[in-house]
Amino acid sequence: MDKVERIGVSLDKKLLAKFDDLIAKQGYQSRSEAIRDLVRQRLSSESLNNPKASAVAAVCLVYDHHATMVSQKLIDIQHSHILQAISSLHVHLDHHDCLEVIVLRGAVGQINKVAEGLLSLKGVKLGKINLVATDPNPAS
Amino acid sequence: MDKVERIGVSLDKKLLAKFDDLIAKQGYQSRSEAIRDLVRQRLSSESLNNPKASAVAAVCLVYDHHATMVSQKLIDIQHSHILQAISSLHVHLDHHDCLEVIVLRGAVGQINKVAEGLLSLKGVKLGKINLVATDPNPAS
Amino acid sequence: MDKVERIGVSLDKKLLAKFDDLIAKQGYQSRSEAIRDLVRQRLSSESLNNPKASAVAAVCLVYDHHATMVSQKLIDIQHSHILQAISSLHVHLDHHDCLEVIVLRGAVGQINKVAEGLLSLKGVKLGKINLVATDPNPAS
Amino acid sequence: MDKVERIGVSLDKKLLAKFDDLIAKQGYQSRSEAIRDLVRQRLSSESLNNPKASAVAAVCLVYDHHATMVSQKLIDIQHSHILQAISSLHVHLDHHDCLEVIVLRGAVGQINKVAEGLLSLKGVKLGKINLVATDPNPAS
């Protein structure tokens, strides 16, 4: 449990009213919570500009399950010891396609390199890399 | 197996040389494969502008595992029958934080609504919604 | 001049220290100013999801100035009365290429439609649409 | 005028039909043109990951015209000789707010630094940085 500090923020009343509407719609229970999330997102996106920053990524791949190279490549990566931790989730979309979510952990630059290799595999139809910085460890 | 058509594309030589360099670096084995991926990504991102388009999403949440609301909320969603399929993957990041990847399937608008509800939960520190369109079914 | 309200926000000390570092690097002179900007950006990006929201956009086009269709198309748009206000800025990049920044004002959906028409013009090599919401009028 | 090369691309018929629909809607007059644009955008976005790559940027700022610091800061930058070329466009939004589009030219890293300085100025309510790579000079 980290120490908490309370700061004051001045906001125009109309701006605040709109923000209150938005966060109510999103389901936030307090302004502090919503503003903390904005601050953490800002720090995370800043950190992801640094190729050496620590991050965790969910790489989403849509591929034809007849294309066996993806699973093979995944095994290759697990054995290559480049990245610290790998988990994956497999979802059946239809009788052709499946979605594979692969969690990679490591430096931003390394993750991007490995993820691009996965996205460029023959048989992978669509893909996205979703990075979240863990370096500026958004501690609470 | 769908029918394949071969089209001709005119490209400036210098532009082509740069593209060849990039896709070699990314690991593509042919230009056709790389260009097909660009076409699919373009169609997918276009489709995601439509709230009614079918999509699958990987929602990534970093949260303190002492905050039990996330798992509770996830169960609520599974029982609410709003979305067609839900899977999840849990990764231990450190003794405080964990990463949860939740796969949602449904219309873009519904997914965003549910995902925002998850991201705004107290205890969720960071999060991202990663949508992939399945509607324009990028068939091959 | 709108009325200002002062709210309290609780933040973990470590998170606050990192935020203070970032905003000092960016040149902010106060936390309130930096947090107000995060709130306005959040509201603006939310608003841009609505095709009917009012917005202003800077459409950037890189094109070969020998391709005269861009200037012609621009004149067509000005006379089509679809959008409320149009200004443009022309920058000479080299003896082939120029950058044209075209400011469009109107509903998000209309702007995107017109901007896509500009980006797809023969001769336009690169382009981007940069929308800023004016609807949730970020009043101060 | 650069030399043009014609390449063949194999695409699934259904995928091609969807792409044809999209580019017709956007206003493209040929597939080659649309695919060239996808290739250029891909190269440009890749290039922007490199802080040393040459780029041109349109920085959009919404600010209260009573806040005179923006124009002053702009003059300071013009005299600081950090960046190669600066132009700007001013649009009157309402009796409070104006939009200023400032074109910066230089290395990606330098542009981002200067642009962040502009966005963090007191009085600037909203802002966006819109970079276009000029380095991989998408020659045609």
Domain parsing of chain A, residue ranges: 13-47, 54-133
CA distance D54 to C136: 35
Instruction: Look up residue D64 and give its amino acid.
Output: D
User: Within an 8 Å CB–CB cutoff, is residue D1 touching chain B?
Assistant: no
Q: For A46-101, write each residue's pLDDT tens digit.
A: 888 888 999 999 989 888 877 767 777 767 776 675 666 678 888 888 878 888 88
- Whole-number mean pLDDT of chain D? 84
Tell me the C-alpha distance between A123 and B140, whole Å: 8
Would you call C27 and D121 a contact, using CB atoms and an 8 Å cutoff? Answer: yes
**Residues A9-21: what's their mean pLDDT?**
93
Distance set, CA A49 to CA A55, A97, A135, C28 (Å):
11, 33, 12, 20
Q: D66: exposed, middle or buried (C-beta count within 10 Å: 0-12, 13-18, 19+)?
A: exposed
pLDDT at res. C118: 86
Q: Per-residue pLDDT averaged across B89-104, rounded?
A: 85
Q: Read off the tokens for C128.
A: 């981007």
Place of tokens 């095994």: A75
Dist. CA B107–CA B34, nearest whole Å: 28
Query: Residue C135: which pLDDT band, with cuts at 50, 70 and 90?
Result: low
Query: Per-residue pLDDT for C47 more than 80?
Result: yes
**On the CB side of A113, how many CA atoms lie within 13 Å of its CA?**
11
Between helix B108-119 and helix A13-26 the angle, nearest 10°, is 110
Helix (H) / strand (E) element for B50: namely: none
Q: Which range among C104-108, D61-65, D102-106 shows the weakest confidence by mean pLDDT?
A: D61-65
Q: What average pLDDT score do residues B108-125 get? A: 87
Does C139 have pLDDT greater than 90? no
Most confident of B97-111, C124-138, D59-73: B97-111
CA distance D125 to C136: 12
Tell me which of C135 and C118 has the higher pLDDT.
C118
- Residue D83 is predicted with a pLDDT of 67
Whether residue D140 is predicted with pLDDT greater than 50 in this model: the reply is no
Task: Please report, for residues B88, B101, B102, D48, the alpha-carbon distance to residue B75 in angstroms, rounded to integers and kept in the order given.
Answer: 11, 14, 11, 41
How many CA atoms, within 13 angstroms, populate the side-chain half-sphere of residue C98? 16
Residue where the block lists tokens 């209260």? D64
pLDDT of residue B95: 79
Query: D122 contacts in C (CB within 8 Å)?
Result: 29-30, 33
C62/D contact by beta carbon, under 8 A:
yes
Residue partners of D139: CB distance under 8 A and separation at least 6:
B12, B14, B15, C96, D2
Half-sphere exposure of A4 (CA within 13 A, CB side): 10
Quickly state the pLDDT bin for A20 (edges 50, 70, 90): very high
CB within 8 Å of B99: residues ≥ 6 apart: A56, A58, A103, A132, B60, B61, B62, B90, B91, B93
> Rounded to a whole number, what is the distance in angstroms from the first to the last CA of chain C?
8
Closest Cα to residue A63, out of A124, A129, A128, A127?
A124
pLDDT for the residue numbered C68: 67
Which residue, chain included where needed, has tokens 């603006």?
C44
Closest CA to A19 of C54, C140, D64, B63: C140
CA of A55 to nearest chain C CA: how many angstroms apart? 17
A29 interfaces chain C, CB cutoff of 8 Å: no
- Asked if pLDDT for residue B20 goes beyond 80, the answer is yes
Report residue D82's pLDDT band, with 50, 70 and 90 as the boundaries. low
Give the phi and the psi of residue B103 in degrees, each rounded to 5.
-95, 120
By residue count, chain A amounts to: 140
What is the token pair recorded at D35? Answer: 């695919």
Q: Which residues, other chains included, contact C17 with Cβ-Cβ below 8 Å and sequence gap of 6+?
A: none
pLDDT greater than 50 at residue C17: yes
Long-range contacts of C40-46 (CB under 8 A, 24+ apart): C40/A15, C40/C138, C40/D125, C40/D126, C41/D126, C42/A19, C42/A22, C42/A38, C43/A15, C43/A18, C43/A19, C43/A22, C43/C133, C43/C136, C43/C138, C44/C132, C44/C133, C44/C136, C44/C138, C44/D126, C45/C133, C46/A22, C46/C136
Q: d(Cα D41, Cα D38) in Å, to the nearest integer? A: 5
What ipTM score was computed for the predicted complex, to two decimals?
0.80
- Whether A24 contacts chain C with CB within 8 A: no
pLDDT band per the 50, 70, 90 thresholds, residue B63: confident
Provide the 3-class DSSP secondary structure of residue C80: helix
Per-residue pLDDT, averaged over B73-85, amounts to 68
Q: Is the pLDDT of residue A137 over 60?
A: no
Residue-level pLDDT at C9: 94
The confidence score (pLDDT) of residue A135 equals 63
pLDDT at B11: 92
For the full predicted model, state whether its pTM sits above 0.90.
Answer: no
Q: Is residue C120 pLDDT above 80, yes or no? A: yes
Considering only B105-114, C77-86, C121-130, D33-42, which range has the smallest mean pLDDT? C77-86
Q: Give pLDDT, residue A133.
A: 85
Q: Report helix angle C13-26 to C31-47, nearest 10.
A: 90
Average pLDDT for B23-38: 92
Q: Give the one of D6, D14, D136 whose C-beta lies nearest to B18's C-beta.
A: D136
Question: Among B125-134, C50-59, C129-138, which is the least confidently predicted range?
Answer: C129-138
Is A1 an 8 Å CB contact of chain C? no
Q: Which of D63, D130, D135 to mutate to test the interface with C (most CBs of C within 10 A)?
A: D130
Tokens for B77? 């969603």
- What is chain B's mean pLDDT, rounded? 84
The answer to whether residue B111 scores a pLDDT higher than 70 is: yes
List subunits contacting chain C, requiring 3 or more Cβ pairs under 8 Å: A, D
Cβ–Cβ contact B26 with A under 8 A: yes
Q: Which residue in C has a C-alpha nearest to residue D31's C-alpha? A: C120
State whether B130 and A23 contact (CB < 8 Å): no
Q: Just give the CATH number of B54-133.
A: 3.30.70.1150
D32 φ, ψ (degrees, to nearest 5): -55, -45
* Packing angle, helices D13-26 and B31-47, rounded to 10: 60
